[in-house]
Every structure is written in structure tokens, then in C-alpha cells.
């Protein structure tokens, strides 16, 4: 009998959303063989036919968008308004890569003899293995799969164990757009994921730093290109000349939207101006966080719903209580809810010891720490003191201060007067240090990752 795994709803854990096969390594190898077979005609087909296929997917997803957003709410507890936004982003990503599939594919280069035609072409790698997390169960699979497919690869998508139903539903919605074997979902846990890495011709992963580290090693041993997007410990620096009310509101959303379960969430707020400025801002941020609507993710007003599972809730509660036992101050939140579901109230914590784990590790939940910095240089030093380097924000009214600060930040993405979370699918996405490995995702950078260059000479 085939082993199975179940996904359940974070707001109603007794609600089983899907029971799916826990695929073995043999099952994955069989899927790979189908994908490899399909890759031959997919790669040699025309760019226009691939573009049309992605456009067909966009139209099909647009038609199913309400139902897809509701499934996202049910399976991963993402609040409805944000789930709708994610599906809309997925549709836009499909349309964007449908266009990018038609870009000129190479360069004509002056030849040594002056007459030969020396030019470059782009070739797909073959089968793309995509390992995706539960927190963006539509957008992340699509921002990996759409460019992979646009540029002639076929896809094995291995979604997180927590969100197989969303991935399987996407495959159903897209079923009429692709020939057999072009877009396949592989369900299961570690065995299935490892099997994907052991066969794929190119790998893209988003998830934890620990899993990413093992994937990059396995990919390097096999000599295949790999891209890993991992954790964050993102800071927002607040300078004294910032509009503090706006900063508090924007940071509250960046820290607590979808209960902070984003690698781009703000985890640390670094307030320039010493302890008194930090205390005052912590109160302002605490009030902005407490004002966020918290509860049932199916309600269109909700900003903060439950966290993904009971372990995640325990991690939030225990990190806040440990910080408080060590002398920190819980300005708001950090307590488990008493209704059914994995609810924990969004927490702002201040006056932490410099080595508190809330300032170093990624909790991946609704917790935000406020830290005092003596001046801008001190704020930069604190921002850069963690092993992560995904994104940082600076809040200031001074263009000069922002221009001076931004280049000093050891991050892949910087925002000025904007939330750390939220990305533009047409711009490169990725981090520095332990946050990312390999080339950037999204935008036109995705084309370079999912293709290789072939240099061709035609002598007269
Ligand atoms: C966003 O901030 O909208 O897994 C996207 C994550 C990131 C994506 C964030 N890779 O949270």
C-alpha cells in the first residue's frame, strides 16, 4: 500500500484538506523519466507555443481565482485578502513570463575573421526540480515554474508537505495547457525531495537554511545549477527624522502580515536615538500591531491569522517568554489563543539582551523585536551582525541619509520607507550571506538561471 500524508487546516486542525501519496524515490524517478521525455519536444517547440501555453495557464487560473484563494486560506491559513493578492500575483507572473519567452535569445558578436556569423543561443537545462515552501503555495511555485517552462524546461514541482493540495490544484487548472509530462507535481516528504535533487537537471529551492545547505551540497556534487532561497532576519532601521506614525504602521504590516510567516518579514526594528527613542517607538509599534485585525483568516478584514502548526505556535510563545525571563519587555502579544486553531497573538518585544535569539535567529512567526542604536553607524552594525542578509528597510525623511545608509547594508534587497516584505516579480529577488545561494530569482535574471548559452559560429 502506498504511504500517504495529510494536510490539515491551521485554523481548524481537524479539517483534513488532502490525503496525498508520499512518493518514493522510484516514483520520482518515473516522473523524471516522463519529464525528460516531454522535455525533448517542449524544448524544440517554438517560443510562441510556450508563450501561448503560459497565457492559457494565466487565463485558467484567473477563471479559478476565487476558488484557488479559498484553498490557500484553508490549507495554509493565509488571510483571504492576502491569499487573493497572491493568486493575482501568480496570474501576473504567468503573463509576464509568457511575454519574456519571446525576448531575443542571444547576441550577434563580431567574429575574428570578420565574415563568420558568431552568435549565441540559449538552451534549457532539461528538467527543473522545484522544491517550494508552504507560505506562498501559489506565487513561489509559479515564479519558479513559469520561467523554467517559458525557456524550454519541463518541471517537477515538489511542494511542502503542508501544502500539497494547492500544488495539485494548480496542476489540474493547468492540465489543458501542457502536453503530458511537462508540468508534474511530486508529493511527499524528505525522500521525494531528495529524489528530485538526485535526478533534476537544474534545481530551485525556497525554504529553511538547513535544507538549503544540504541541497546546495547535493547539487554541487552532481554539477547541476542550483538556487536556494532560505531564511531572513530582516531589519527596519528607523532614523529620528522619519515620519514615525507611518513607519510604525508600515513596519507593523511587514512584521505581522500572514503572522510573520515570510522570509521577508521584519523581525528587528532598529531605532536610532538611544534607549528612550526605542522605548517610545516600541509603544507606537505595539499600538499599531495591536490594532491589526487578528483572527479567522477566512474573513476579508483579517491581517494576522493562525501560524502553520502547533510547533510553530510553541516556538513563538517560548521565544517571547524566554526573552521576557531574560529581562526583555513584551510590549504586546505572544500568547497562544484559546479558540481552535494555531493562533498566537502578534508580539512586539523590546529591551532584549544583545544575544537574545530573537535578534539572531529566524522565528518565522508574528514576533518583532525593537532595539536601540546610538547612531546610524551603530544601526548598520546591528543590521549586519546576523548571518542572514535578505532584505532591510530604512525609514527616513532625508534622501541623503538613505543614500548613505543603503550601500552599507549586507542584504540583497533594500527598501526606503517601504515594508521589507512584498516583492516585484519583474525585479531580481535574493539575498546575501546565509539567506541565498546561487543566482537571483524572478525578473529577467530567471532567464539566465533556467538556460545555458551556446556559442555558435557559421563560417562562410
Ligand atoms: C513576499 O514578501 O511577498 O518565502 C514574498 C518567502 C519569500 C517570498 C516573500 N521567498 O517568504
pLDDT digits (tens, 9 = 90+) for 374-429: 999 999 999 999 999 999 999 999 999 999 999 999 999 999 999 999 999 999 99
Tell me: pLDDT of 135 over 70: yes
* pLDDT of 155 strictly over 80: yes
Could you tell me which residues come within 8 angstroms of residue 30 by beta carbon, excluding any fewer than 6 positions away? none
Tell me the CA–centroid distance for residue 207 and ligand 1, in Å. 10
Give percent of the chain with pLDDT exceeding 70: 100
ipTM at complex level? 0.94
**Residue 12 has what pLDDT?**
97
**Per-residue model confidence (pLDDT) at position 1:** 64
- Taking phi over 0 as left and psi of -120 to 50 as alpha, with beta for the rest, 128 belongs to beta
pLDDT, tens only, 3-16: 999 999 999 999 99
* pLDDT tens profile 350-364: 999 989 999 999 999
Contact 425, 85 (CB under 8 A): no
The pTM (predicted TM-score) of the whole model is 0.97
Q: What is the pLDDT of residue 174?
A: 98
Could you report the per-residue pLDDT of 222-273, keeping only the tens digit for each? 999 999 999 999 999 999 999 999 999 999 999 999 999 999 999 999 999 9
Asked whether 17 and 8 are in contact (CB, 8 A), the reply is yes
Going along the chain from its start, the domains and CATH numbers come out as: 4-230 (3.40.605.10), 235-416 (3.40.309.10)
CA of 136 to the centre of ligand 1 (A): 7
Gap between the Cα atoms of 144 and 156, Å rounded: 11
Helix segments in 101-181, DSSP class H: 139-150, 164-173
Instruction: Give per-residue pLDDT as tens, 426-448.
Output: 999 999 999 999 999 999 999 99
Residues with CB under 6 A from ligand 1: 133, 135-136, 206, 229, 262-264, 421-423
Q: Pick the atom of ligand 1 nearest to 261's CA.
A: 11
Report how far Cα 300 is from the mean position of its chain's Cα atoms: 23
DSSP 133: -
Report pLDDT digits (tens) over 180-235: 999 999 999 999 999 999 999 999 999 999 999 999 999 999 999 999 999 999 99
Catalytic option among 57, 166, 228, 263: 263
Residues 6+ apart with CB under 8 A from 114: none
Residue nearest atom 10 of ligand 1, based on CA coordinates = 263
Task: Give the CA distances from residue 157 to residues 64, 197, 254, 423, in Å, rounded to whole numbers and listed in that order.
Answer: 20, 11, 28, 22
- Annotated catalytic residue 6: no
Report the residue among 86, 134, 229, 262 best suited for mutation to probe ligand 1: largest number of ligand atoms under 8 A from its CB.
Answer: 262
Cα–ligand 1 centroid distance for 421 (angstroms): 7
Is residue 228 among the annotated active site residues?
no
Question: Residue 145 above 80 pLDDT?
Answer: yes
User: How many Cα atoms within 13 Å fall on the side-chain side of residue 410?
Assistant: 18
Reading across the β-sheet that carries 391-395, which strands appear in turn?
329-332, 347-350, 367-373, 266-272, 234-238, 391-395, 413-416
For the chain, the average pLDDT equals: 97
Residue among 140, 411, 413, 418 to mutate when testing ligand 1 (max atoms within 8 A of CB): 140
pLDDT band of residue 2 (cuts 50, 70, 90) is confident
Amino acid at each position: 500500500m502506498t504511504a500517504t500524508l495529510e494536510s490539515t487546516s491551521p485554523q481548524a486542525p481537524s479539517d483534513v484538506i488532502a490525503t496525498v501519496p508520499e512518493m518514493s524515490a522510484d516514483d520520482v524517478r518515473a516522473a523524471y523519466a516522463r519529464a525528460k521525455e516531454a522535455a525533448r519536444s517542449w524544448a524544440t517547440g517554438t517560443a510562441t507555443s510556450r508563450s501561448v501555453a503560459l497565457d492559457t495557464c494565466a487565463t485558467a487560473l484567473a477563471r479559478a481565482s476565487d476558488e484557488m484563494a479559498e484553498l490557500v486560506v484553508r490549507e495554509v491559513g493565509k488571510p483571504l485578502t492576502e491569499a487573493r493578492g497572491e493568486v493575482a500575483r501568480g496570474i501576473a507572473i504567468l503573463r509576464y513570463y509568457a511575454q519574456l519567452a519571446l525576448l531575443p535569445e542571444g547576441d550577434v558578436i563580431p567574429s575574428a575573421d570578420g565574415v563568420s556569423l558568431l552568435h549565441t543561443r540559449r538552451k534549457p537545462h532539461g528538467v527543473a526540480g522545484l522544491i517550494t515552501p508552504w507560505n506562498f503555495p501559489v506565487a513561489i511555485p509559479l515564479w519558479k515554474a513559469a520561467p523554467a517552462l517559458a525557456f524550454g524546461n519541463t518541471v517537477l514541482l515538489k511542494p511542502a508537505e503542508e501544502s500539497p493540495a494547492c500544488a495539485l490544484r494548480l496542476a489540474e487548472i493547468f492540465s489543458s495547457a501542457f502536453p503530458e509530462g511537462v508540468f508534474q507535481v511530486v508529493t511527499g516528504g524528505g525522500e521525494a525531495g531528495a529524489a528530485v535533487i538526485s535526478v533534476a537537471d537544474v534545481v530551485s529551492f525556497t525554504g529553511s537554511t538547513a535544507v538549503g545547505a544540504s541541497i546546495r551540497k547535493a547539487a554541487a556534487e552532481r554539477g547541476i545549477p542550483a538556487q536556494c532561497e532560505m531564511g531572513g532576519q530582516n531589519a527596519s532601521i528607523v532614523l529620528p527624522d522619519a515620519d514615525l506614525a507611518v513607519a510604525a504602521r508600515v513596519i507593523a504590516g511587514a512584521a505581522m502580515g500572514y503572522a510573520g510567516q515570510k522570509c521577508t518579514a521584519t523581525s528587528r526594528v532598529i531605532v536610532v536615538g538611544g534607549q528612550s527613542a526605542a522605548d517610545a517607538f516600541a509603544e507606537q509599534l505595539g499600538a499599531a500591531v495591536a490594532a491589526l485585525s487578528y483572527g479567522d483568516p477566512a474573513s476579508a478584514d483579517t491581517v494576522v491569522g493562525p501560524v502553520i502548526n502547533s510547533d510553530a505556535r510553541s516556538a513563538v510563545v517560548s521565544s517571547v517568554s524566554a526573552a521576557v525571563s531574560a529581562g526583555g519587555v513584551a510590549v504586546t502579544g505572544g500568547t497562544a489563543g484559546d479558540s481552535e486553531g494555531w493562533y498566537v497573538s502578534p508580539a512586539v518585544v523590546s529591551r532584549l539582551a544583545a544575544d537574545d535569539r530573537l535578534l539572531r535567529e529566524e522565528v518565522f512567526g508574528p514576533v518583532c523585536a525593537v532595539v536601540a542604536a546610538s547612531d546610524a553607524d551603530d544601526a548598520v552594525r546591528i543590521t549586519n551582525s546576523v548571518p542572514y542578509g535578505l532584505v532591510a528597510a530604512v525609514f527616513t525623511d532625508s534622501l541623503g541619509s538613505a543614500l548613505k545608509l543603503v550601500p552599507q547594508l549586507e542584504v540583497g534587497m533594500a527598501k526606503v520607507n517601504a515594508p521589507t516584505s512584498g516583492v516585484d516579480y519583474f525585479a531580481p529577488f535574493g539575498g546575501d550571506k546565509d539567506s541565498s545561494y546561487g543566482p537571483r530569482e524572478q525578473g529577467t535574471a530567471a532567464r539566465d538561471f533556467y538556460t545555458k548559452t551556446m556559442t555558435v559560429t557559421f563560417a562562410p
